[in-house]
Every structure is written in C-alpha cells, then in structure tokens.
C-alpha cells in the first residue's frame, strides 16, 4: 500500500486496498469499543491505573449454574456465561458433574459454608468491596468475611506450594486491565450450585476490565487438564452498587448454627431479640478512661497525604492475652500473660459481680464449646488484634482496612461521621475512624455481643463501645490501645495496650470449620456435663 | 527444608508468643490428668488450619490403634520452616502429650522426637510464653 506523502501525489489506491483498509479500521474500532467505549472516562488511581475501588456485585445468574439452565426450586433460570456455552468436560468428569448435580443439596461445599474458591466467590449474590493500593488489590466479601489479598508488586509468593480454598493471587496490569493468576486452590470447591467442578491442578487467570465508572467486565480462564479437554472461559458483568455506602456481614456458618441450635444465645451479652427492650445502664464507677496518651515516633513512614503509613503485616506481642487479659500464670495448656490492662491501674478488669462470676464459669471445660472462635466465627473487637494470629493493615484514600489471617476483615471509613442504626448488629461491629495528628482513632459500636474477649471467656456485651488508638512508633512498630466501655458488664471503662510488630511476611489462609474435630470434642465435654447435671436433679 | 533446620528453629519458635495459634480452649478439650507417651509410625498428616493433625499407629497389647495428634496450624508450621514432606508415612516417632477429655485416641502434643533423637516443635498453645 502506498501512502500519500503530499497533496501533490495522486492517490492510486485499488478498490481491494480500500476495502482492506476499511475492514482493518472497522475491526480495530470494534475491538476498542469492546474493551472500552472511546468517550468513557474511567476513575484512576494515583499511579494512573484504573481505580477499581468501590462496592460491586455480579449482574448474572452464574452462581446457580454457569451453563444455560431452566429454573428449579430455589434456582432461577439463567443463560450460560461460558464462552461457547458449554464447559468442555472430559467424559468421566461430565458423569461426575451429573452426580454432583443430583447430590447438590448435601454436597455443595458452599452449602456447608466452606470458602467458595475463585472464581465462584466473584459471582455469588453478595456485594464485595475493592480496595486498591500501589502494591495490592484487596477484595473483601460480605459472604462470611472472606477476602482476597491480590499482590500487584510483582513478587512471587513468600511461601510456595501451600494448598488453600481461595488460592494464591498475583496480579499485574495489562494496559487498563487487571490480570490475576490464581494458583494453589484445593480440589474441594465447585464453580456453582449445579455441581460444576475442577481438580487441585486448576489454574485460573482473571481479567478485570472497567468499561465505565460503574461497570466492570470480569473474565476468568480455567485451565485444568485433569478435568477438561481444553481451557475455557467465563465472562460476567459486575455492577457498581451505587446505592450502597458499605457492605455488611453474612456469617454463613454462624447463621446456620444459630438456626439449628448448635450455637446458643447468651441472654446477658447478646443484643436482645427483635421486640425486646434494650436496656443499657450507666457506669457505676469512673465514667472516663484514666490513661495518658502513648508517644508517637518522630521518624515515621508517611503516605502521600502526609498521614503516617502503617500499612503492613503485623504480629501482636500480646503473650497469652487470648487466654486472659489480666496477668496470669501458666496453667496446664493455658499460657501465661503479663497482663495487658493499663487502666485500671491494678491491671484487673472492672467487672460487675455477675460478670466476674460468668467469667469464672466460662473457664470451666464444659463452657469451652461456647467460645465463638472454637466455632470459627469472627474474633470481634478488639480480640482480632491479639487472637493470636497475624493481620495486614492497608491504607487507601478514605479507608483503613484490617485483614485478619483467621479470615475476617474490618473496614474503617475515615470520612464517615455516624454509625449504623442501633438495631443493626455485627460480629465485627461498625467502625468509623479519623486521624488525630499522627494517631489513628477508630470507634466501634453496633457489636452483636456474641463474641468472647478470649478463650477463657473474658466478657463483653452488645453495649460495648470500643475506641482503638494506633500510635506509630517507627517503621516497624505501632502501639495499639483499645478502650472498652461496656456498662452492661463493667463498672467503668478499661484500656489494654499491645505493641504490634511489623514483619516482612505475607498472610496465608485459615479455613477453620471443615471437619472441626476440636469443636466435636468440646461438644462431647459439654454434653457429658449436661447429662450429669440432669441426672443429679 | 529438612527436619534438622526445623529442629533448629525450635528454640526461637518456643519463645515467640505469637506463634501460638489456638482458636479454642485446649484446657477445656484435653485432660491434664491423662498424660500419654506414644511410640508409633506416622500414617498421615492433615495439613490444616488453625491446627494440623498427625496420625500415628500405636501398638498397645498387640492391638494397633490410630491416634490423632493435634499440632499447631499449617501457617505456623510453614513459618517455622516445616514442609508437607517432613513427616512421610512410616516415620517412627515418639510423642508426649495429653489425651482428650472425651476419651478418644486424640492428644495434644508439643514435640515430636525421632529415632535418632532429633526433635521437631509442633506445639500449639502450650508453648506460648509471656514475652515480658
């Protein structure tokens, strides 16, 4: 093809060339339009990448069945999201899929509240919230506090060869598309409620492409030569949930155990049932905490906006706090603790008499079953910070996010001023935060009162208001304080202090309740005690 | 990662309170009055969180019983340098621990001792010490 160099050169194009050019231009335009309409302006992060931050949810029926399906009881009909409509199973696998479908009521892993795996979590009918930094994309799901921490820093996993439910995710940007490779998922998850499945060899490559400020295309390519005849692809639209200002909680296993009586209400601490009166008394002792501020460091890491940078992976230096917040010696398998209480000065929790009695009772073996973390439920506030297990702190414009290795998260908005309505109660509460100079202050209310403060049963109720303060000391340490004001349980507010140490580590996964043999042992101990009590009567 | 290296980190791991990884009361689950010393062959290892499980065939009075031995979770073991292949089936081990209150062949263990005397720290909450 000759190109005109100036207006004096006569165009000498043949018709065939004109057609070819037209076809090329047409194809290029179509390809561009598919990726992103020309006129659309995407929200962008500081590094120029599309800013995926926000609340999203699938707009498809893929969660029920990836393929074309008619409606069934509890399953609305839907069209296939699979490219080419049909999943290319090997013959044995096609037979297994049919078997799975027949047994789906009891065999679906998500029906048992097991982590859904990737890609299934992405198109379940619960919203999720994305947080994006220069080095991570974190996706926090309303469903059972599951999260994915996708590293976009180009580094390989620190610990290789570990199998998990949600796999290890590493991402990078290809133009305006976030591409994520997910490896190391176990063979226990399904793709949907219809029994579509994979093996432990599966590799998933996801592509997240924003099409407008409120629309994103999610694509996942599945490679698994053990189960399929070739790689295959799904594509679903994600919609920004413009009507939502936050995601809430759906703690699958807890809902189930409460419904079937395996996890029982504690009337004195849980938020009252709908229709019951909520009575919160006043403190009988000191109303205000009596504690001087901790010191922040002078040589801190800082964010672009000048606020301290406390991003990172942390381990609490909390000793045996998960076995009692007050100072105690080692007893059998219960580790000692130096005591974390800095106010009151005697280091003792200012219990009301009934609550001290309850604490003593909870430490007895027959009550071990009642600790919510034995059921793998969230640790709550402030327990998540001394559980003992590591956590990751992320900072994005407007938010601080805590990701706890024991699969739970907390989102702290920095620009919100009011809490949820009083009747909305959550395992992790409702947190709002702000910076006071170099100190991050987080206030949490709306707790459900179902959590224990540790394994021996230090008591906290729905009435608790928790104020946490994060004092950055240097690049590798933050002093953490939590002041708990709970007039149902205590006579006055109290405060604990824990150094949090930053380490060059990465979070792994804790999937807790599959085959939870410990819980069965604890239940046996409780049931035996109850049987004896009954006999004695 | 070999056993020797894992054994080497024993001291450090034992001092690190944060390496404790219990999610429920071991004191409630296991019986202080039922200490056990088991000598047997590894049959399997469940590489799970928040606790791992090692299964060991133990011969008592001519009868073989498979014991479930509770260890720290995989994440804690991995960070101490363990690998899934460190305890292949057939490995002969001696373990000390406490039996579960419900009387099942289940025990909480801290350290695994190999035939040549090497030790592997597998402990859960009982090794956690106050750091101050």
For testing contact with chain A, the best of B35, B71, B130 (most A CBs within 10 A): B130
Q: Distance (Å, rounded) from C-alpha A495 to C-alpha A355?
A: 17
Query: How many CA atoms lie less than 13 Å away from A277 in the CB half-sphere?
Result: 3
Q: Is B27 on the interface with A (CB under 8 A)?
A: yes
Maximum Cα interatomic distance, chain B, rounded to a whole number of Å: 48
B78 phi and psi angles, rounded to 5 deg: -60, -40
Q: Is B44 on the interface with A (CB under 8 A)?
A: no
Q: Is B85 on the interface with A (CB under 8 A)?
A: no
- Contact partners, residue A179, CB within 8 Å, separation at least 6: A171, A172, A173, A205, A206, A207, A208
Q: Which of A373, A505, A510 sits opposite B73 (nearest CB)?
A: A510
Inter-chain touch B102–A525, beta carbons under 8 Å: yes
Place of tokens 């979070």: A507
User: pLDDT tens, A425-434?
Assistant: 999 999 999 9
Inter-chain touch B25–A456, beta carbons under 8 Å: yes
State the pTM of this model: 0.89
Q: What pLDDT is recorded for position B87? A: 87
| Predicted-complex ipTM score | 0.78
Inter-chain touch A335–B17, beta carbons under 8 Å: yes
From chain A, pick out residues whose CB is under 8 angstroms from the CB of B78.
159, 162, 508
For testing contact with chain A, the best of B1, B14, B21, B23 (most A CBs within 10 A): B23
Inter-chain touch A374–B25, beta carbons under 8 Å: yes
From first to last of its 537 residues, chain A has per-residue pLDDT tens of: 344 433 443 444 555 555 555 555 555 444 444 555 556 899 999 999 999 999 999 999 999 999 999 999 888 999 999 999 999 999 999 999 999 999 999 999 999 999 999 999 999 999 999 999 999 999 999 999 999 999 999 999 999 888 999 999 999 999 999 999 999 999 999 999 999 999 999 999 999 999 999 999 999 999 999 999 999 999 999 999 999 999 999 999 999 999 999 999 999 999 998 888 898 999 999 999 999 999 999 999 999 999 999 999 999 999 889 999 999 998 888 888 999 999 999 999 999 999 999 999 999 999 999 999 999 999 999 999 998 899 999 999 999 999 999 989 999 999 999 999 999 999 999 999 999 999 999 999 999 999 999 999 999 999 999 999 999 999 999 999 999 999 999 999 999 999 999 999 999 999 888 878 889 989 999 999 999 999 998
DSSP state letters, B29-65: HEEEEEEEEEEEEEEEEE--SSEEEEEEEEEETTEEE
Give Cα A64 to chain centroid, integer Å: 22
User: pLDDT tens, B52-97?
Assistant: 899 999 998 899 999 999 988 888 888 888 888 888 999 999 999 9
Inter-chain touch A374–B74, beta carbons under 8 Å: no
From chain A, pick out residues whose CB is under 8 angstroms from the CB of B30.
332-333
- From the list A497, A431, A489, A482, the residue with the least C-alpha distance to A460 is A489
Inter-chain touch A335–B78, beta carbons under 8 Å: no
From chain B, pick out residues whose CB is under 8 angstroms from the CB of A514.
48
Q: Distance (Å, rounded) from C-alpha B95 to C-alpha A69?
A: 54
User: pLDDT tens, A435-449?
Assistant: 999 999 999 999 999
Inter-chain touch A369–B17, beta carbons under 8 Å: no
Inter-chain touch B50–A512, beta carbons under 8 Å: yes
- Contact partners, residue B8, CB within 8 Å, separation at least 6: none
Beta bridge partners of A343: A495
In terms of residues, how long is chain B?
A: 132
């Amino acid at each position: 093809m000759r190109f005109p160099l100036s207006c004096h050169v006569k165009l000498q194009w043949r018709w065939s060339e004109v057609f070819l050019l037209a076809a090329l231009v047409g194809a290029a335009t179509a390809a561009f339009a598919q990726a992103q309409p020309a006129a659309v302006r995407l929200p962008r992060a500081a590094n120029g990448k599309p800013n995926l931050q926000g609340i999203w949810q699938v707009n498809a029926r893929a969660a029920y069945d990836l393929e074309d399906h008619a409606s069934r009881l509890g399953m609305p009909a839907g069209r296939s999201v699979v490219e080419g409509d049909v999943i290319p199973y090997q013959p044995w696998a096609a037979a297994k899929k049919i078997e799975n479908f027949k047994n789906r009521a009891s065999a679906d892993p998500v029906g048992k509240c097991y982590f859904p795996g990737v890609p299934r979590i992405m198109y379940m009918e619960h919203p999720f919230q994305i947080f994006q930094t220069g080095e991570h994309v974190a996706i926090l799901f309303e469903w059972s506090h599951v999260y994915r921490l996708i590293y976009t820093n180009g580094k390989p996993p620190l610990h290789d060869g570990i199998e998990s439910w949600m796999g290890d995710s590493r991402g990078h940007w290809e133009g305006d598309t976030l591409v994520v490779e997910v490896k190391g998922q176990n063979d226990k998850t399904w793709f949907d409620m219809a029994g579509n499945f994979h093996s432990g060899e599966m590799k998933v490559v996801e592509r997240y492409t924003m099409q407008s400020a409120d629309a994103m295309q999610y694509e996942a390519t599945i490679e698994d030569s053990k189960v399929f005849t070739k790689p295959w692809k799904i594509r679903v639209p994600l919609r920004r949930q413009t009507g939502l200002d936050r995601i809430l909680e759906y703690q699958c296993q807890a809902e189930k155990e409460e419904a079937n009586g395996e996890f029982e209400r504690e009337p004195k601490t849980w938020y009252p049932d709908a229709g019951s009166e909520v009575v919160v008394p006043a403190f009988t002792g000191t109303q205000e905490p009596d504690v001087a501020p901790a010191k922040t460091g002078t040589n801190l890491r800082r964010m672009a906006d000048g606020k301290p940078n406390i991003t990172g992976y942390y381990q609490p230096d909390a000793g045996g706090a998960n076995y009692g917040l007050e100072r105690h010696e080692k007893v059998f398998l219960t580790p000692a603790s130096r005591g974390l209480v800095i106010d009151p000065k005697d280091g003792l929790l200012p219990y009301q008499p009934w609550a001290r009695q309850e604490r003593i009772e909870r430490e007895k073996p027959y009550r071990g079953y009642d600790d919510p973390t034995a059921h793998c439920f969230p640790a709550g506030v402030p327990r998540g910070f001394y559980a003992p297990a590591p956590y990751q702190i992320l900072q994005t414009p407007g938010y601080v996010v805590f990701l706890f290795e024991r699969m739970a998260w907390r989102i702290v908005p920095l620009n919100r001023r009011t809490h949820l309505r009083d009747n909305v109660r959550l395992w992790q509460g409702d947190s709002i935060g702000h910076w006071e100079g170099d100190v991050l202050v987080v206030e949490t209310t709306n707790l459900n009162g179902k959590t224990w403060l540790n394994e021996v049963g230090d008591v906290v109720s729905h009435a608790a208001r928790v104020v946490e303060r994060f004092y950055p000391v240097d690049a590798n340490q933050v002093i953490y304080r939590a002041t708990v004001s709970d007039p149902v349980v205590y006579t006055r507010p109290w405060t604990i202090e824990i150094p949090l140490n930053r380490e060059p580590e990465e979070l792994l996964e804790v999937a807790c309740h599959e085959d939870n043999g410990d819980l069965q042992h604890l239940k046996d101990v409780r049931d035996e005690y109850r049987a004896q009590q009954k006999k004695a009567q | 990662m070999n056993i020797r290296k894992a054994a080497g980190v024993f001291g450090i791991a034992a001092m690190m309170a944060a390496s404790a990884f219990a999610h429920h009361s071991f004191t409630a689950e296991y019986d202080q009055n039922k200490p056990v010393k088991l000598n047997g062959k590894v049959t399997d290892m469940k590489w799970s969180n928040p606790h791992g499980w090692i299964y060991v065939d133990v011969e008592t009075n001519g009868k073989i019983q498979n014991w479930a031995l509770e260890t720290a979770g995989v994440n804690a073991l991995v960070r101490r340098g363990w690998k899934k292949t460190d305890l292949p089936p057939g490995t002969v081990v001696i373990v000390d621990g406490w039996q579960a209150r419900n009387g099942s062949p289940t025990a909480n263990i801290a350290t695994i001792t190999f035939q040549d005397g090497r030790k592997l720290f597998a402990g859960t909450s009982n090794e956690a010490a106050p750091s101050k």
